[in-house]
Amino acid sequence: MKLTFRWYGESDPVTLDRIRQIPGVKGIVSAIYDVVPGEVWPLEKIQDLQERIRSYGLELAVIESVPVHEDIKLGKPERDRYIENYCKTITHLGEAGIPVLCYNFMPVFDWTRTDLAFELPDGSNTLIYEEAVMQQMNPLTGDLSLPGWDQSYTRDEMKQLIEAYRDVTEQRLWEHLQYFLERIVPAAEAAGVKLAIHPDDPPWPIFGLPRIITGEQAYERFLRLVDSPANGITFCSGSLGADPDNDLARIIRKVGGEGRIHFAHTRNIKHTGFRSFQESSHLSSDGSLDMAEVMRALADIGFDGPLRPDHGRMIWGEQGRPGYGLFDRALGAVYLNGLWQGIQADRAAAEQGSQVKEGAEC
């Protein structure tokens, strides 16, 4: 397991000189944020980002993410140009030696929450999702108070985009994803880049828009679309865990047993009702997910890829990007690293004990 940390570039209040002080963190997860979605990422920009990170004794371990243009998801005729550009970006990532590319295939909205600063009893602030609040919104009428997305599109742009998806069923979205994969996976194979699709967050439809990367059966279907070692997943415990029906350890052992987990986001959430949750600290005791079992399952499959603490609370009065403060994510990184080291130590002791017993019997 390679412990990593998300960094949003020079505008990020969480700086590289602070990240490198977190015990165990050697890798950075980042992206280029000034290239228009659908256009090619210049090799020089990738290398500049890489060198900036290396100057702090860290490595650019994962690109998260290269946005997938909406025309690709919609299956429009213009998608071929954008897919060609995507392949060129993958080639450039390979030339720079970037091993993993995380991306998602969620229509219109990326990860979605109804409040970015919900105050918990201990005085910290966190991200939450409440289905009842979502049901009161209607982006087609302009009745949208969705934190983080209100300014992403004008009212007309939002309406046009959602209406464009009116005829895109789950089946059609799967077909568009397969079309995309059949073209980018060969580029990834040639470039030596592992593709890692992120599950939908949360893993259910939003405003009638289909979401298809939602759990075990979806992963099985996804991996069959293009059967290649380069075509894999980002395992995100918080996204998948929002649905109580998802057995996280089972998913890890099933998908990871095929060597197809290329990246891991490990965070905890607390279920608060039907399709509703709060993001908690990473500790198993603070949320609804058994993080020790998640890490144990990753160890069982011999996971040796990049892993990062995901969204954290805003604690100790910290201000900044909601979900991406320094303090709680740093605590999460240390907790996850402690779990991992404890699991490895227990296994080493058990193996040594077994060897001693076998020697005594001889």
Amino acid at 183: R
What's the chain look like in SS3?
CEEEEECCCCCCCCCHHHHCCCCCCCEEEECCCCCCCCCCCCHHHHHHHHHHHHCCCCEEEEEECCCCCHHHHHCCCCHHHHHHHHHHHHHHHHHHCCCEEEECCCCCCCCCCCEEEEECCCCCEEEEECHHHHHCCECCCCECCCCCCCCCCCHHHHHHHHHHCCCCCHHHHHHHHHHHHHHHHHHHHHHCCEEEECCCCCCCCECCECCCCCCHHHHHHHHHHCCCCCEEEEEEHHHHHCCCCCCHHHHHHHHHCCCCEEEEEECCEEEEECCEEEECCCCHHHCCCCHHHHHHHHHHCCCCCEEEECCCCECCCCCCCCCCCCHHHHHHHHHHHHHHHHHHHHHHHHHHHHHHHHHHHC
Is 324 marked active-site?
Answer: yes
Is 362 marked active-site?
Answer: no
Is 87 marked active-site?
Answer: no
Is 33 marked active-site?
Answer: no
The active-site residue, picked from 71, 200, 201, 310, is 310
Is 56 marked active-site?
Answer: no
Whether residue 144 contacts residue 131, with contact meaning beta carbons closer than 8 Å, is answered with no
The active-site residue, picked from 103, 324, 328, 335, is 324
Is 92 marked active-site?
Answer: no
The active-site residue, picked from 87, 201, 236, 282, is 236
The active-site residue, picked from 69, 262, 265, 282, is 265
The active-site residue, picked from 198, 219, 262, 335, is 198
Catalytic site residues?
A: 198, 236, 265, 310-311, 324
